[in-house]
Structure 1
Amino acid sequence: MDKEIELEGRRVIIECKQVEINGETVITPKVVQVIDVPMAQETTTFDHPVTDTPRASQADGG
């Protein structure tokens, strides 16, 4: 089953497989695709204070 999440302003598609190890069912995630989301869409899709932190630090360094 594929799952789509947003991470640091990027859309990440993850493939999850259920595997049985020593009698226990474990879900193994694997990154399938990383999609860069333009800055304009970033704030409309998610309202996280975390996404603003990297941009602020880049502005300070410049």
Structure 2
Amino acid sequence: MLQSKTQDSGINIKVIGHIELIKQEYITQHIIIILALVVWYQSYTTYIHLAGSCRDGRRNKEEGSY
């Protein structure tokens, strides 16, 4: 009986440690994903702003040529 109890507790400690490791990896993956989305969103809005200003510049040139 004593041996089975110590083996169970050892297995439980291993499982709990494994779950904690999975939680940490899960959290770090989500932090990385969120940071990547923030960077992508900022670069995307900057790109739209630059593309919009370029389009406006082309329109002004076209209007000036008429």
Q: Report the structure, 1 or 2, having the larger strand content.
A: 1
TM over 0.5: no
Normalising by structure 2, we get a TM-score of: 0.22
Whose radius of gyration is greater, 1 or 2?
A: 2
Normalising by structure 1, we get a TM-score of: 0.23
The structure showing larger relative contact order (alpha-carbon pairs under 8 Å, at least 6 residues apart) is: 1
